Amino acid sequence: MSKRFSRINFHTETVERFKKYAIANDANYTETLEALLDFFEQNSISPFEPFDDSKQRLERLINKRMDGVEAILRRIETQQTKPTKVLLDRLFNYKEEEQPKFVERKLT
């Protein structure tokens, strides 16, 4: 059983844009429209609200979290890594005064 078709009236400019978009994506008109609708529904995005605003909010949130991660890494470096390195340097660079293996004894 084939699917039934229905008609919707669009402005000519909108139809031309839609046709170019469908051709560029190598899909028929029904597939293209379904993909567009699925995208908006699955991502809970409204095409009538400015998208840039939400993108900028997300970018700010990520930047704040990255700043927090950077602060944690700096704290770890100053409080743990550098003191540990100093201790290891002291441990491995410590030179004992070498005792000679053989000591000459004089017979008297």
> How confident is the model over 29-64, as pLDDT tens digits?
999 999 999 998 888 778 887 766 667 778 888 988
Do 18 and 32 contact (CB within 8 A), yes or no?
yes
Which of 14-23, 50-59, 84-93, 98-107 shows the lowest mean pLDDT across its residues? 50-59
Say if residue 61 is in the same domain as residue 72: yes
Assess whether 20 and 35 both reside in one domain: yes
CA distances in angstroms from 12 to 15, 17, 20, 34, 47, listed in the order given: 5, 9, 12, 20, 20
Question: Which of the four pLDDT bands, split at 50, 70 and 90, describes residue 18?
Answer: very high
**Cα gap 82→103, rounded to integer Å:** 42
Q: Is residue 21's pLDDT more than 90? A: yes
- 29-42 vs 12-24: helix crossing angle, rounded to 10: 90
CB 23 within 8 A of CB 32: no
- Is position 2 within any domain? no
Q: Please count the structural domains in the chain.
A: 2
Residue 8 makes CB contacts below 8 A (sequence gap 6+) with: none
**Structural domain range at position 25:** 9-48
Q: Is 0.75 surpassed by the pTM of this model?
A: no
Confidence of residue 80 (pLDDT cuts 50, 70, 90): confident
